Amino acid sequence: RFLAWMGLEINTMAIIPLMAQQHHPRATEAATKYFLTQATAAAMILFASTTNAWITGDWNIPQTSHPATTSLLTLALALKIGLAPMHFWLPEVLQGLNLTTGLILSTWQKLAPFILIYQIAPNTNLTILMSMGILSTLIGGWGGLNQTQLRKILAYSSIAHLGWMIIILHFMPALTLLNLTIYIIMTSTMFLSLKNLSATKINSLAITWPKTPTLMVLTMLSLLSLGGLPPLTGFMPKWLILQELTKQNLPITATIMAMSALLSLFFYLR
């Protein structure tokens, strides 16, 4: 557990120079916000780990069994990846970065905390996971509606996708990994396309069609796939998750998730 905490700290420290490389007030602000958020989460993780070792005498991650420590650890890791209701830093930080660093923040930086959540999920309180999942998909849908900045839209998209991953984690962890893999591939495609087009606002996408029609088609398909429109790849994990939620006798939760996916799809289509 101590090594996991060290790994997360190294992970945080390594991306901060990349964030602050542009000598720009917004980039500096993003780096500071990210550092403070991650430092808070790391302190919570260390506190939860120490408390668990004190109560149970065990430092191993899968053996985290005390309800208080598992809940605190889950909340700290949720703060690290930007799950609602601890999502406030993510759109602001992503908006202050260039597209390459934004790509790293949206994909690679999510892996380590997510693997730790995956490991402690069997012992975690189901209500916490379900609440965070539903809240993330709703906030990810509502938040992106009135945005014109592409990086903020991708940040809210990230929050919504993490909600889908976390809600099924307790019932079927394999689906979470499938969703995470597909999300990383689609987000990478999206960021690299936008970098190639040098586009950071919605209106700049409108004028790039005559210049690079092929890339614009690819970007459009990636966006629709992120939104989960059938028959594109992004629809598959959502369909499987809704199916599993219905099997687990959670039809109301499945309905809320499906409705929140429509919110996300609306701003992707726009």
Contact between 164 and 233 (Cβ < 8 Å)? no
Name the residue with tokens 């190294």: 10
Conformation bin of residue 199: beta by default, left when phi > 0, alpha when psi is -120 to 50: beta
* Predicted confidence (pLDDT) at residue 22 exceeds the cutoff of 90: no
Q: What is the pLDDT of residue 2?
A: 82
CB neighbourhood size of 135 (10 A):
19
Strand boundaries in 49-201, DSSP class E: none
Mean pLDDT across the chain, nearest whole number? 91
Give the predicted TM-score (pTM) of the model. Answer: 0.93
Instruction: For residue 71, name the pLDDT band (cuts at 50, 70, 90).
Output: very high
Q: What is the pLDDT of residue 3?
A: 87
Q: What is the pLDDT of residue 56?
A: 83
Q: How far does Cα 248 stand from its chain's mean position? A: 24
Q: What is the pLDDT of residue 208?
A: 83
Percent of the chain with pLDDT over 90: 69
The pLDDT tens digits of the residues spanning 167-203 come to 999 999 999 999 999 999 999 999 999 999 988 888 8
Beta bridge pairs of residue 149: 201
Q: What is the pLDDT of residue 199?
A: 87
Higher pLDDT, 146 or 136: 136
Q: Structural domain boundaries of the chain?
A: 1-269
Contact between 124 and 147 (Cβ < 8 Å)? no
Classify 212 as helix, strand or coil: coil
